[in-house]
């Protein structure tokens, strides 16, 4: 009886031990948020400049709560069932899981095959590091051009043989713009790496020797042997070969091939997504960062979608609401300095500018002004350039600064050297349109706060302040 009692006591205590290891910071609509999950989000976001680096744990907890409440609203609206959202999420999720399917033996075998092929191609010969000076000669060159190129190459060769610095001569005289800035230095080569004429001349040189001018399809080369060496063992070169393969997508190709094999091995009983589900389940139990990263992206998609539906789209189309908010908060949008409202017109000639100015003054304010200017002046080619409607302060447009704010003369465009400014200066906003973006941002902020307040009423939540106090301190 005593043994049974002790067994029951241990069984009852186990969940408490597990909970103590990762206690719950908050519960939102019955769903727990553990300390490790909260710390992941808090520490990740505070490292983003301008995000929450100035927020205390308590302040961030309120932000995180609002975030989770919005996710709950999205789940209630079944936004997670949207095919477009599911597709985007699975694409991202699979990117995180595919590395676990990489077959390192496959990657190594490809690297080894490339190494062995290089060794075979070398055939026991050295690898060469050379410098060269190129006197370029086109295939269609005339006889006179060929002779001139040969004379130049011979002259450069004699200068080097007479003591001229090879690196300096290459920088100043080589026609190979890729290697000239580096003293003519070229990558390592082996048999078959370059044109035969260059290769034959290079392999005939010892370290420090310089060849006479050699003619190839590119022109005349003066070749200097920088270094010769035998191929290093595979173990030495493996890291660089594997790294090059990774840059070419070898790991993704390996993972995709392995995934196809696993699907085929299941005889049609498991899809690729089901296999990736099992890969996820096998790793998120121990890899918390992977778990939270995948969850973060999933919830982030939901947050974006629900915010679009509840705040951003409705507010953007709510002209009545924006107008009412603007009228109630006009003082908030007062300018501390005047603005210019109007257009800048640029033209290829003075007569065109005069005609375009008259045209714009007559039609300004019309929604089709840009199309009208294009049809009137730019049917065959662009002769007049009209800016979009401007609302700018001093320092934001050089043409406006000169004409309206008494700034220095603006440097005109070389293509459109004649310009004019059409419009007028305003001391204060005249309507919502003059400050619409600011108003819309503030209006959305207000609607979001009202929405969050409703969510806090709708969904039950609890923040465990004692656990919150242990964040990053346990």
Query: Could you report the per-residue pLDDT of 353-380, keeping only the tens digit for each?
Result: 999 999 999 998 888 899 999 999 998 8
pLDDT value at residue 51: 53
Asked whether the predicted pLDDT for residue 10 surpasses 50, the reply is no
Identify whether 367 is part of a domain: yes
Give the mean model confidence (pLDDT) for residues 91-112.
93
Residues 201 and 134 in one domain: yes
| Residue where one domain finishes, among candidates 230, 250, 266 | 230
Conformation bin of residue 48: beta by default, left when phi > 0, alpha when psi is -120 to 50 = beta
Residues 403 and 440 in one domain: no
User: Using CA atoms, how far apart are residues 227 and 160, in angstroms rounded to an integer?
Assistant: 19
Alpha-carbon distance values, 57 to 44, 303, 368, 469 (Å): 13, 22, 53, 8
| Residue where one domain finishes, among candidates 199, 230, 261 | 230
CATH number where 132 lies: 3.10.50.40
Residues 366 and 419 in one domain: yes
Identify whether 70 is part of a domain: no
pLDDT value at residue 16: 35
Residues 325 and 439 in one domain: yes
State whether residue 131 is helix, strand or coil.
strand
Identify whether 375 is part of a domain: yes
pLDDT value at residue 451: 98
Q: How confident is the model at residue 11 (pLDDT cuts 50, 70, 90)?
A: very low
- Read off the tokens for 13: 């205590």
pLDDT value at residue 139: 87
- Read off the tokens for 182: 């580096």
pLDDT value at residue 442: 97
Nearest by Cα to 30 from 69, 80, 85: 69
Residue 256 CB: number of other CB atoms within 10 A? 15
Asked whether the predicted pLDDT for residue 15 surpasses 90, the reply is no
User: Using CA atoms, how far apart are residues 143 and 376, in angstroms rounded to an integer?
Assistant: 55
Q: Are 450 and 442 in contact, with CB atoms under 8 Å apart?
A: no
Asked whether the predicted pLDDT for residue 314 surpasses 80, the reply is yes
Residues 342 and 402 in one domain: yes
Identify whether 292 is part of a domain: no
In the 8-state DSSP scheme, what is residue 310? I
Q: CA triplet 152, 138, 164: central angle to 5 degrees? A: 25
Nearest by Cα to 185 from 131, 127, 227, 129: 131
pTM of the model: 0.69
The mean pLDDT of the chain is: 91
Q: Rounded to the nearest 5°, which phi and psi values hold at 175?
A: -90, 0
State whether residue 48 is helix, strand or coil.
coil
Asked whether the predicted pLDDT for residue 158 surpasses 70, the reply is yes
Residues 378 and 445 in one domain: no
pLDDT value at residue 137: 94
- Which residues touch 367 (CB under 8 Å, ≥6 apart)? none
Residue pointed to by tokens 């009692």 = 5
Q: How confident is the model at residue 14 (pLDDT cuts 50, 70, 90)?
A: very low
| Residue where one domain finishes, among candidates 230, 257, 272 | 230
Q: Are 391 and 339 in contact, with CB atoms under 8 Å apart?
A: yes
Residue 161 CB: number of other CB atoms within 10 A? 11
Nearest by Cα to 106 from 245, 305, 215: 245
State whether residue 32 is helix, strand or coil.
strand
Residues 452 and 384 in one domain: no
How many independent structural domains does the chain possess? Answer: 3
User: Using CA atoms, how far apart are residues 166 and 156, in angstroms rounded to an integer?
Assistant: 9
Give the mean model confidence (pLDDT) for residues 181-195.
94
Q: How confident is the model at residue 48 (pLDDT cuts 50, 70, 90)?
A: low
Q: Are 313 and 444 in contact, with CB atoms under 8 Å apart?
A: no
Identify whether 202 is part of a domain: yes
User: Using CA atoms, how far apart are residues 470 and 57, in angstroms rounded to an integer?
Assistant: 10
Q: Could you tell me the residue range of the domain that residue 222 belongs to?
A: 125-230
Q: Rounded to the nearest 5°, which phi and psi values hold at 32?
A: -80, 145
Alpha-carbon distance values, 325 to 249, 430, 456 (Å): 53, 15, 24
Q: How confident is the model at residue 21 (pLDDT cuts 50, 70, 90)?
A: confident
Give the mean model confidence (pLDDT) for residues 6-24.
46
Q: How confident is the model at residue 183 (pLDDT cuts 50, 70, 90)?
A: very high
In the 8-state DSSP scheme, what is residue 343? E
User: Using CA atoms, how far apart are residues 203 and 125, in angstroms rounded to an integer?
Assistant: 9
């Amino acid at each position: 009886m005593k043994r049974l009692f002790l067994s029951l006591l241990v069984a009852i205590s186990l969940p408490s031990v597990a909970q103590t290891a990762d206690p719950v910071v908050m519960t939102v609509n019955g769903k727990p948020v553990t300390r490790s999950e909260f710390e992941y989000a808090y520490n990740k976001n505070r490292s983003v400049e301008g995000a929450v680096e100035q927020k205390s744990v308590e302040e961030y907890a309120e932000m995180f709560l609002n975030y989770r409440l919005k996710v709950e609203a999205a789940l209630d609206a079944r936004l997670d069932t949207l095919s477009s959202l599911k597709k985007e999420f699975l694409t991202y999720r699979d990117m995180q899981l595919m590395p676990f399917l990489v077959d390192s033996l496959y990657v190594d075998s490809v690297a080894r095959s490339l190494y062995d092929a290089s060794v075979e191609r070398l055939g026991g010969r050295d690898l060469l590091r050379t410098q060269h000076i190129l006197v370029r000669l086109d295939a269609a060159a005339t006889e006179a051009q060929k002779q001139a190129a040969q004379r130049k190459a011979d002259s450069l060769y004699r200068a080097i043989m007479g003591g001229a610095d090879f690196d300096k001569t290459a920088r100043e005289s080589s026609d190979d713009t890729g290697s000239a800035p580096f003293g003519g230095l070229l990558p390592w080569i082996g048999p078959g790496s370059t044109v035969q004429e260059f290769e034959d001349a290079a392999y005939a040189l010892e370290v420090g020797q310089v060849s006479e001018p050699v003619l190839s399809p590119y022109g005349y080369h003066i070749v200097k042997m920088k270094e010769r060496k035998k191929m290093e063992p595979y173990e030495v070169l493996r890291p660089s070969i594997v790294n090059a393969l990774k840059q070419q997508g070898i790991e993704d190709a390996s993972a995709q091939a392995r995934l196809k094999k696993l699907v085929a091995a299941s005889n049609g009983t498991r899809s690729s997504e089901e296999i990736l589900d099992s890969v996820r389940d096998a790793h998120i139990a121990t890899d918390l960062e992977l778990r939270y990263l995948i969850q973060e992206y999933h919830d982030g998609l939901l947050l974006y979608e629900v915010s679009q539906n509840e705040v951003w789209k409705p507010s953007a189309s709510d002209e009545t609401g924006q107008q009412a908010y603007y009228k109630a908060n006009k003082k908030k949008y007062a300018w501390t300095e005047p603005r210019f409202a109007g257009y800048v017109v640029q033209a290829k000639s003075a007569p065109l500018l005069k005609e375009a100015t008259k045209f714009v003054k007559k039609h300004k304010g019309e929604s089709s002004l840009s199309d009208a200017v294009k049809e009137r002046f730019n049917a065959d080619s662009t002769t007049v350039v009209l800016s979009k409607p401007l609302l700018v302060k001093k320092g934001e447009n050089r043409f406006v600064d000169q004409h309206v704010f008494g700034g220095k003369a603006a440097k005109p465009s070389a293509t459109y050297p004649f310009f004019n400014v059409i419009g007028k200066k305003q001391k204060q906003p005249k309507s919502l349109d003059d400050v619409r973006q600011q108003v819309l941002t503030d209006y959305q902020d207000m609607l979001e706060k009202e929405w969050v307040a409703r969510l806090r009423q709708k969904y039950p939540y609890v923040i465990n302040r004692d656990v919150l106090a242990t964040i990053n301190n346990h």
